[in-house]
Amino acid sequence: MDSDTKPNARTVERKLRRLSRRTSPFLKVLAVCAVSCLAIYICADLAIDWRPQGWWPDDRLTLVIQCAIVAILPAVAAVVVVAAQRLRPDRQVGRKIAVYSPVDINSRFIRNTVEQFVVFLVGISGMAAFVTHSDAATIPILTVMFMVGRVLFWVGYHTNPYVRSFGFGLTFYPTVIVFAWLFLRTVFGIYVPI
C-alpha cells in the first residue's frame, strides 16, 4: 500500500513544482500590478483637484454615464476591429472562426471586457450613490484606470501574457476595492474617505 501512495505523492509534488514555475511569473506581475494600482491611484488623486459643480442625483447619474462611455470604449473599438476582420475569409474555417486567430482573440477580449464592464458599472454606480462630493474624483480616476487596463489587456492578448496579466489586474483590483468599500458603506455604515 505504501508503494502505491509514494509514486502518487511524488507525481503530485512534481506537478505542483511545475505549476508553481508556470504561475510564479504571473503572480509576480499581479503583485506588481497591485502596487502599481495603488501608486497610480494615489498620484492621480493628489494631482487632480476636481469636483463636480453639483452633487445632486442627476449630477451623479451624469457622471456615471460619462464614465461608462469612456470605460466601454475599448470594447467598442474591438467590435469595430472584429467586424473588419470578419470580412477576410482566411480568418475563418468554414463558418467558424479559426481558434487563436486575431478574430478569435479579439472576440474573447470583447466578451471579457463586457463581463468586467458590467461589474465595474455596478461598482461606480454604487460609489456615485454613496461617495461624498469631496471624494467624487475617485470615479473618473477609476474609470481611466479601467480603460487603460482594458487596452493593456487587449494588447497583451496579442503580444505578451505578462502585459495581459498586468492589464487584467489594473482593471480588476480597483473594482474589487470598490466592492469592499461599498460593502463597508452599505452593510456596516462605515464611510472610508478615498
Give me Rg for the CA atoms of the chain.
Answer: 21
Instruction: Return the half-sphere exposure (C-beta side, CA atoms, 13 A cut-off) of residue 155.
Output: 10
C-alpha 120/C-alpha 165 separation (Å) is 18
**pLDDT for the residue numbered 1:** 46
Instruction: Give the tens place of pLDDT for each residue, 59-118.
Output: 999 999 999 999 999 999 999 999 888 877 665 656 677 788 888 999 999 999 999 999
Inform me whether the pLDDT recorded for 169 exceeds 80. Answer: yes
- Assess whether pLDDT exceeds 70 at residue 123: yes
* Whole-structure pTM value: 0.84
Give the pLDDT of residue 188.
96
pLDDT tens digits, residue range 12-49?
Answer: 677 656 667 667 777 788 788 889 999 999 999 999 88
Positive or negative, the CA dihedral 63, 64, 67, 73 is negative
82 Cβ contact list (under 8 Å, min separation 6): 103, 106, 107, 110
Contact call for residues 181 and 192 (beta carbons, < 8 A): yes
- Give the distance from CA 160 to its chain's centroid: 17
Average pLDDT of the segment spanning 175-192:
96
* pLDDT tens digits, one per residue of 138-149: 999 999 999 999
Q: Is the pLDDT of residue 128 over 50?
A: yes
- The answer, yes or no, to whether residue 3 has pLDDT greater than 60, is no
- What is the pLDDT, as a whole number, of residue 93? 58
**Cα 154 versus chain centre, distance:** 11
Domains of the chain: 2-188 (1.20.120.550)
Residue 12 pLDDT:
63
